[in-house]
Amino acid sequence: MGEVRKLQKKLRQIENLEVKITLTPEERFKISRKAELRSRLAELLLQLSGPQQTLGIVGEGKKEKMKRQVEDAPEALPSQTPPASKILKGELKSKAQATPAPAARHKETGGGGETGRQQETGEPAKVSDHCLDVSEGCPALTRTDPREEPQPPEEDREFTSLKASWEKAKFRLRLLEGHSDIVTCVVAVDNLVVSGSRDTTVKVWHVPTATEQKNLGGHSGGVTCLSAPPLEYCRRLAWSLSLSDKERFILSGSADCCVKIWALSTGQCVKSIYTFNAVTALCFVSEEEGYIITGSDGGKVQAWSWHTLENCQSINAHQEAVTSIQSQGPLVFSGSAEGGVSVWENRCLERDPLRLLHHWTGQVTGCKGGPGGRLALSPRGDQVFLAYGQSWIKILHWRTGTMSRLTNHSSIAGVTDCVHQTAGLLIGSCYDLANGESTLNLFSLPQCSYLASLTCAEAPRILCFAAWLTGSGGHRWVTGGRDLIVWEQLPSSGKQRGDVTARRDSRLDNSLLESEGDTEDDVESDDDYGNDDDEDKDSQSQEELEGQSGSWFRCVLQ
Please name the residues in contact with 246: beta carbons below 8 A apart, sequence gap of 6 or more: 238
CATH topology of domain 170-522: Methylamine Dehydrogenase; Chain H (2.130.10)
Angle, in degrees to the nearest 10, between helices 2-18 and 25-32:
130
Q: Across 177-227, where does the E strand assignment appear?
A: 183-189, 192-197, 201-206, 211-217, 223-227
Beta bridge partners of 115: none
Contact 215, 201 (CB under 8 A): yes
Q: Counting beta carbons within 10 angstroms of the beta carbon of residue 359, is it exposed (0 to 12), middle (13 to 18) or buried (19 or more)?
A: middle
3-class SS letters over 280-340: EEEEEECCCCCEEEEEECCCEEEEEECCCCCEEEEEECCCCCEEEEEEECCEEEEEECCCC
Phi-psi region of 381 (alpha: psi -120 to 50; beta: other; left: phi over 0): left
**pLDDT at position 22:** 56
For residue 507, which phi and psi values (nearest 5 degrees)?
-75, -10
The residues that bridge with 314 in the sheet, in sequence order, are 302
CA distance 407 to 522: 12
Selection from 339, 340, 336, 306 nearest residue 324 by Cα: 336
The verdict on whether omega for the bond into residue 82 sits within 30 degrees of 0, i.e. cis, is no
Can you give the pTM of this predicted structure? 0.74
Q: Which residues contact 25 (CB under 8 A, 6 or more apart)?
A: none
- Closest CA relative to residue 339, chosen from 368, 363, 378: 368
Question: HSE on the CB side for 455, CA within 13 Å?
Answer: 26
C-alpha angle with apex 520: 519 to 521, nearest 5 degrees? 90
Per DSSP, 137 falls in state T
Nearest alpha-carbon partner for 15 in 433, 394, 499: 433
User: Kind and range of the H or E element at 8?
Assistant: helix 2-18
* CA–CA distance, 391 with 417 (Å, rounded to integer): 10
CA distance 212 to 376: 28
pLDDT tens for 498-516 read 889 898 888 888 777 765 4
Domain map (residue ranges) of the chain: 85-104+114-143, 170-522
What is residue 42's predicted lDDT score, i.e. its pLDDT? 79
**Closest residue by Cα to residue 471 from 208, 294, 263:** 208
The predicted structure's pLDDT at residue 130? 37
| Residues recorded for the chain | 558
Cα dihedral: 187, 193, 197, 201 (round 10): -120
> Given this model, what pLDDT does residue 122 score?
39
Residues of the chain with pLDDT under 70: 1, 16, 18-23, 49-153, 369-372, 514-558
d(Cα 290, Cα 293) in Å, to the nearest integer?
10
pLDDT digits (tens, 9 = 90+) for 358-410: 999 999 998 875 445 789 999 999 999 999 988 899 999 999 999 999 999 88
Strand partners, 271: 261
Between strands 341-346 and 354-360, the pairing is: antiparallel
Rounded to 5°, angle at Cα 333 from 294 and 379:
130
Residues whose CB is less than 8 angstroms from the CB of residue 82 and which lie 6 or more positions away in sequence, other chains included: none
Q: Is 165 exposed, middle or buried (0-12, 13-18, 19+ CB in 10 A)?
A: middle
66: DSSP letter: H
- Cα 480 from Cα 196, distance rounded (Å): 9
